[in-house]
Amino acid sequence: MMSFVGRMNGATGQWAWVHPFIGRVFQLTTASDGGLTAVGEFHSTIAFGSISLQSNSPHCLFVAHCNSSGQWQWATAASLSLSNVSTGYYTLPATNVAPNGDVVVAGVFLGTATFGTLSPLVSSGSQAYFVARLNGQTGQWLWASQASIATTVPNNNTVNSISQAPNGSVVFTGSLNGSASFGTLPAQTTASTNLLVASLNAATGQWQWAARASHTGAGKGMGVAITSTGDVVVTGQVTGPVAFGTLPQLPGTGGAMVVAGLAGSTGQWQWATQTGGPFLQVNALALTSTDDIVLAGSVTDTLRIGNLPRETFLGAGGFVAKMTARGGAWRWQAVSKPVMRSLGLSWNFAYASYLSLTAADEPLVSGPMSSLNYFGSNILLLSETIPPVGLDYPSGSFVAKLAAVPLATSSAVLSAQTQVYPNPATGSFTLRLPVANTLPTSATLLNSLGQSVRRQSVPVRSQSVEIDVRGLMPGLYTILLPLGGETISRRVTVE
């Protein structure tokens, strides 16, 4: 697999440099020296400039660091058998890079895991969680720890996110099905797949505590972060009623996404809340400078988050949402949406898979996309030269930046204030906007199948646009117009 590491100017969007290599990147983070640290997987050999690494296992982890000019400074490898490879299944490791450049990586392995000159980790008959830490200045492995798992359902044990904090804690979240032993701590045992959180001492790699959510349905932790006071925030999915320690049980009905907090020193659950629906998947979590919570994920059909306005989707889209610290009120949400409904073998999507925050608490989001999608007032169309992946859809990636406080006006309110006339329309109709657009945008007309049949650009500072409908079949159409971070949607009949 060909991957690349590159640096882009955040103000202009221009690439400063790009380095391709054969391997798979899991995590890419800006380090304290302005350089980049990449964590990923390779087979056989991999080269970072003049630095070469050799693989002596089916799955070999790499960590490599380059300076702000793109010059590789060091690279190191770790040999491990990821999860249950014998059944053709394995989970990708979760990684995190601290401001000082130190790297932690965690996952599930089977067999032996070797990190430099450290004593190898060996799973005894079944799986084991592993967590390892590396010095970001020298590339030397500092320690590696494991927690043995006794299970009959190996595919349900995962590590999905890991975080480290200046107070000396490393915390990961994922899922557990079976019984896991974290050093001398009491074993965590469950007959179903539960959301799991565990903490280690960053200096020694000793297990500090482990906690899980109790529920009869399936559950998994997907994102974890450590607050400025050292407490822990975790998010994930659950099905069915769920309890976080001694907190009141959450019903689980109609709510797939949970957000909860733990005491960083003891692992005791402090608060928990749920929202969303069965077609919502949370993928990432980040904390602002004031410990407000920002989430990113994917959704199909309808987005339902707290009391925020409902958003409907023609395909599978992405979302970013913010809530106040410690499970307070939801502040806002922003979405990425396919413009056209999925047809036949073609699947339209724009997932929000990765999330980080700038120094000004502005969310940066990236993920895969296909077809034509809009991000607020920005519309992205994949190049026609991008070949399909497999047999059914063309695929690419996007990077998007949001304001720290997006426009609060909901798309439902904007749509209600927008005029469409004449309606029914014969040769054309006019879309009259409630406010002038501040960025170039385009209106898209969809037929009853969700296919785009007309597209009309709207100049900056315009409050109206005329749409030509000559030659269209009579029927009901939908006009879509991204405006100020929201999307206007109105129906019009063509005669």
Give domain limits for the chain. 81-408, 412-494
How far, in Å, CA of 405 to CA of 353, rounded?
21
Distance CA 74, CA 449 (A): 53
29-38, 259-268, 356-365, 451-460: range with lowest mean pLDDT: 29-38
Q: Is the peptide bond before 424 cis (omega within 30 degrees of 0)?
A: yes
What predicted TM-score, i.e. pTM, was given to this entire model? 0.77
Class of residue 243 by CB neighbours under 10 A (exposed 0-12, middle 13-18, buried 19+): middle
Tell me the sheet residues that pair with 320.
296, 334
Q: Which amino acid is it at 409? A: T
More confident residue, 236 or 35: 236
For the cut 80, the answer to whether the pLDDT of residue 92 exceeds it is: no
Greater pLDDT, 185 or 20:
185
Per-residue model confidence as pLDDT tens digits over 304-316: 888 787 887 777 8
CA proximity to 48, closest of 13, 17, 4? 4
Please determine, for residue 279, whether its predicted confidence score (pLDDT) is greater than 90.
Answer: no
**What is 412-494's CATH topology?**
Immunoglobulin-like (2.60.40)
Residue with tokens 């690349």: 4
- Say yes or no: domain 81-408 is CATH 2.40.128.630: yes
pLDDT of residue 386 exceeding 50, the answer is: no
| Residue 288 · residue 278 · CB < 8 Å | no
Q: What is the mean pLDDT of the chain?
A: 82
Question: Residue 441 forms beta bridges with which residues?
Answer: 458
Q: Please indicate whether residue 57 or residue 159 has the higher confidence score (pLDDT).
A: 159
Radius of gyration of the chain (CA): 24
- The proportion of the chain whose per-residue pLDDT surpasses 90, expressed as a percent, equals 33
pLDDT of 389 > 80? The answer is no
Distance CA 86, CA 111 (A): 11
Interval 11-23: pLDDT, tens: 666 777 787 777 7
The mean pLDDT value for 60-75 works out to 88
